[in-house]
């Protein structure tokens, strides 16, 4: 089956076909997206990472689509039902959904009554039933020819023939397309409370869907996921409704597939049976699947953007952190992390019992002073509010405002605490203590810590547990890969979890790097990575530029310049009278000379090196290596407590965006629950997606427009402030 994949992708993305061809060639050779976008700009025509990743995604989809087309054609042909029309429809399909829709009526099922009727020899009678000149009289006469011991009456023969005809109508591609389009364009999704399970929805989470309807074509993605979840929990019943005028159109269209004009009453029964029993239930499933897939793709897109914002929050480096994992019955687990991220000690305090408060204060004050703590990180789970109150009162009463605190999302901390890497890092510690360590380290370096948790467990979005796991995991892993490679990894300090996301490095190789480091000491240069078990030339090529070695033998190993280009650096520096080693001793002097260097002349002189490569090298030498996370706002640190009683409508406060979903954003303004900034209140201009104007980690000013103390809910607006 011949396709022009490169041309299709080039047209979809609005880029040159040669760019697509070259990119696909690199991907097929095993090059990674980060490597291609950073170090093969001449080959791709300077495509950025997002474009390269989209090419990879579309390439994989189209190849999967073509493989499925071949398989479906084979499966239908094996049933001797493949017609030129069906084959052409499959070949022309541009989506997997369309291929599956064509294949649906041909899927092998349990033997139906129509199949039994065919086995009983009634196919010719069914063919006669749809003929142009058939009448009730001739049909009954014809039916007598098919009577047997099994088919013992004219009525039984006609019934069997009608079942075959209904099945054949249900397999008519044009008719199915008409019904599918009519149901999607004119149908309604209707939900109602499943009365026998009303008690399951204790908090009335799904109350809106107890009696709800909306046109299928207009229902938003997040609502589809909510309906799916409520239905799976058996709280609501869902059906698709077709209004009578539209059903009448389906009936007319179905009868048009038949030739006879004298058996209209019979055709009405057969087409109605085909629609009610075979076509509509099947297409209802197709439509729900299509809606769900669209909703999942949209949700995953939001997850990707949210996750990137979360991972790229700036680290609070060289800060001593006291982490608290709040708890009621078992107390609050407290850990101390030094400025280099190493665990120092742990204890447990109880802040909910008056009789134990004084002891908790003494313990915490002792740790704060002993370890010169800069920041207290409090998990946002159970007892978080009570723990925050305790910490805020302690800071105020002891007049230690130089120590700040921050509320940290606990999402995934329990997953980390029970994970293999957690056990490897802290084999002697209880998993509850490991969870507190994770909370503290998320403040110090969010990216380095959060990569230890499966991306789908981090909790940035909604309905992550309802989304196709493979789709979500693949997409989010791509985000983590992008972030890790954008920041780079210090090969002498990074965990294997972090290294496992570096371009070209698989998990087993990442573990081998860490083992090699333990056995042989720090890596002195990038070349020595080739001594790591299993790390061959290809992996080295893909990874080297993203792995940094600080204070090593070669100062270029601390830059984003790839080792394959070191000879270009040597030539460039030689022209201004320096060597690479001078970057360690007189960096400012070298950069000053470079700032006056005419790079255009070097490019003209060395045309084989590639303009984009030379420009990138020049920029890397001219500037110190910068962490891209520094461009994002620092998290808000607090030293006092705010309660919902302190708020008033019209008040303007500052908050941190904690989550972004289809219908708005949740903002931490310092009270117990995050406040809702609805999409309608995000901007004066109309926006389709909140991610157009806010991202996780953004620090924004908001106006309080509603307070519901009973339910602990606060509504916000940004219309007049953005």
pLDDT tens readout for residues 417-445: 999 999 999 999 999 999 999 999 999 99
By CB atoms closer than 10 A (0-12, 13-18, 19+), residue 170 is buried
- The pLDDT, as a whole number, for residue 485 is 95
CATH topology for 113-300 is Tex N-terminal region-like (1.10.3500)
Let me know if domain 5-106 sits in CATH 3.40.50.720.
no
pLDDT tens readout for residues 683-721: 888 888 888 888 888 888 899 999 988 778 899 999 887
Does pLDDT of 244 surpass 60?
yes
- The pLDDT, as a whole number, for residue 688 is 85
| Cα separation, 115 vs 105, whole angstroms | 13
Q: Residue 152, Cα to own-chain centre: how many angstroms?
A: 60
| Cα separation, 501 vs 513, whole angstroms | 13
Mark out the alpha helices in 214-332 (DSSP H runs).
221-232, 244-255, 264-273, 280-311
* Arithmetic mean of pLDDT, 128-137: 93
- The pLDDT, as a whole number, for residue 3 is 67
- The pLDDT, as a whole number, for residue 346 is 97
pLDDT tens readout for residues 253-272: 999 999 888 999 999 999 99
| Cα separation, 480 vs 126, whole angstroms | 59
What angle is formed at CA 639 by the lines to CA 636 and CA 640, rounded to 5 degrees?
A: 110
pLDDT tens readout for residues 534-593: 999 999 999 999 999 999 999 999 999 999 999 999 999 999 999 999 999 999 999 999
Q: Residue 126 — very low, low, confident or very high, per pLDDT cuts 50/70/90?
A: very high
The sheet with strand 375-379 has its strands ordered as 343-349, 332-337, 321-325, 375-379, 404-408
| Residues pairing with 677 in the sheet | 665, 716
Looking at domain 516-630, its CATH superfamily turns out to be Tex RuvX-like domain-like (1.10.150.310)
Under 8 Å between Cβ of 496 and 510: yes
Does pLDDT of 460 surpass 80?
no
- The pLDDT, as a whole number, for residue 110 is 85
* Arithmetic mean of pLDDT, 144-172: 95
Tell me which of 185-189, 197-201, 224-228, 484-488 is least confident.
197-201
H helix and E strand count, the chain: 31, 15
- DSSP annotation of 315 reads P
Does pLDDT of 64 surpass 90?
yes
Ordered DSSP codes for 460-510? -SS-GGGS-HHHHHHHHHHHHHHHHHHH-EETTT--HHHHTTSTT--HHHH
Under 8 Å between Cβ of 405 and 349: no
pLDDT tens readout for residues 310-355: 899 999 988 999 999 999 889 999 999 999 999 999 999 999 888 8
Does pLDDT of 132 surpass 80?
yes
* Arithmetic mean of pLDDT, 473-493: 93
Handedness of CA 339, 341, 345, 349 (dihedral sign): positive
Residue of 632 and 485 predicted with greater confidence: 485
- The pLDDT, as a whole number, for residue 669 is 84
Provide the residue ranges of all domains of the chain, joining segments of one domain with +.
Answer: 5-106, 113-300, 321-444, 516-630, 644-717
Under 8 Å between Cβ of 234 and 243: no
Let me know if domain 321-444 sits in CATH 3.40.50.300.
no
Choose the most confident range, by mean pLDDT, from 73-87, 292-306, 675-689.
73-87
CATH topology for 644-717 is OB fold (Dihydrolipoamide Acetyltransferase, E2P) (2.40.50)
Residue (of 49, 30, 4, 3) closest to 484 by Cα position? 49
Residue of 194 and 202 predicted with greater confidence: 194
- The pLDDT, as a whole number, for residue 260 is 85
Q: Residue 2 — very low, low, confident or very high, per pLDDT cuts 50/70/90?
A: low
| Cα separation, 530 vs 544, whole angstroms | 10
Q: Residue 722 — very low, low, confident or very high, per pLDDT cuts 50/70/90?
A: low
- The pLDDT, as a whole number, for residue 1 is 57
């Amino acid at each position: 089956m011949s396709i022009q994949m490169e041309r299709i992708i080039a047209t979809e993305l609005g880029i040159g076909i040669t760019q697509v061809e070259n990119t696909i060639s690199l991907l097929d050779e095993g090059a990674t997206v980060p490597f291609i976008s950073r170090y093969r700009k001449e080959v791709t025509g300077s495509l950025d990472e997002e474009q390269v990743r989209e090419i990879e995604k579309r390439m994989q989809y189209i190849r999967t689509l073509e493989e499925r087309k071949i398989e479906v054609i084979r499966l239908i042909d094996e049933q001797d039902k493949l017609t030129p029309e069906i084959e052409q429809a499959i070949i022309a399909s541009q989506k997997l959904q369309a291929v599956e829709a064509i294949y649906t009526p041909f899927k092998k099922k349990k033997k139906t009554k129509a199949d039994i009727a065919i086995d009983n020899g009634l196919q010719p009678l069914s063919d006669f039933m749809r003929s142009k000149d058939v009448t009730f009289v001739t049909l009954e006469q014809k039916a007598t020819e098919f009577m047997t011991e099994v088919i013992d009456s004219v009525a039984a023969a006609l019934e069997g023939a009608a079942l075959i005809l209904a099945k054949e109508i249900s397999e008519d591609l044009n008719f199915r397309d008409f019904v599918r389009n009519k149901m999607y364009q004119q149908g309604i999704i209707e939900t109602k409370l499943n009365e026998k399970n009303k008690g399951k929805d204790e908090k009335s989470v799904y109350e809106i869907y107890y009696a709800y309807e909306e046109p299928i074509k207009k229902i938003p993605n997040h609502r589809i996921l909510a309906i799916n979840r409520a239905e799976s929990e058996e709280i609501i019943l869902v059906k698709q409704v077709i209004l009578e005028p539209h059903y009448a159109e389906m009936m007319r269209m179905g009868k048009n597939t038949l030739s006879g004009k004298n058996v209209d009453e019979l055709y009405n029964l057969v087409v109605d049976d085909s629609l009610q029993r075979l076509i509509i239930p099947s297409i209802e499933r197709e439509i729900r699947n299509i809606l769900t897939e669209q909703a999942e793709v949209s949700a995953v897109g939001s997850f990707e953007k949210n996750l990137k914002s979360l991972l790229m929050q700036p680290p609070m480096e060289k800060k001593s952190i006291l982490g608290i994992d709040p708890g009621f019955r078992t107390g609050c687990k407290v850990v101390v992390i030094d400025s280099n991220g190493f665990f120092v000690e742990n204890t447990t305090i109880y802040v909910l019992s008056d009789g134990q408060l004084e002891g908790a204060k003494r313990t915490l004050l002792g740790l704060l002073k002993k370890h010169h703590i800069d920041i207290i990180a409090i998990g946002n789970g159970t007892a978080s509010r009570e723990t925050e109150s305790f910490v805020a009162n302690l800071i105020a009463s002891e007049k230690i405002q130089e120590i700040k605190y921050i509320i940290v999302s606990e999402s995934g901390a329990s997953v980390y605490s029970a994970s293999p890497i957690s056990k490897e890092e802290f084999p002697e510690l209880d998993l509850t203590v490991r969870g507190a360590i994770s909370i503290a380290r998320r403040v110090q370096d969010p990216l380095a810590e959060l990569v230890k948790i499966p991306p789908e467990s981090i909790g940035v979005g909604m309905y992550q547990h309802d989304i196709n796991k493979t789709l979500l995991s693949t997409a989010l892993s791509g985000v983590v890969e992008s972030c890790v490679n954008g920041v780079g990894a210090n090969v002498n300090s990074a965990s294997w979890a972090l290294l496992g996301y570096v371009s070209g490095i698989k998990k087993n190789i990442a573990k081998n790097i860490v083992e090699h480091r333990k056995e042989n000491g720090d890596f002195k240069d990038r070349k020595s990575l080739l001594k790591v078990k299993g790390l061959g030339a290809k992996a080295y090529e893909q990874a080297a530029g993203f792995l940094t070695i600080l204070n090593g033998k070669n100062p270029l190993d601390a830059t984003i310049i790839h080792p394959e280009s070191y000879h270009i650096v040597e030539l460039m520096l030689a022209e201004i009278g320096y060597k690479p080693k001078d970057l360690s001793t007189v960096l400012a002097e070298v950069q000053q000379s470079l700032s006056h260097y005419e790079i255009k002349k070097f490019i003209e002189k060395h045309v084989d090196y590639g303009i984009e490569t030379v420009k990138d090298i020049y920029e890397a030498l001219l500037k110190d290596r910068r962490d891209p996370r520094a461009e994002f706002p620092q998290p808000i640190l607090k030293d006092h407590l705010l309660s919902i009683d302190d708020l008033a409508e019209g008040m303007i406060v500052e908050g941190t965006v904690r989550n972004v979903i289809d219908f708005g954003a949740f903002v931490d303004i310092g009270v117990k629950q995050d406040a809702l900034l609805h999409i309608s209140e995000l901007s004066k201009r109309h926006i389709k997606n909140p991610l157009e104007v806010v991202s996780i980690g953004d620090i924004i000013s908001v106006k309080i427009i509603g307070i519901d103390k009973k339910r602990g809910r606060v509504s916000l607006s940004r219309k007049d402030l953005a």
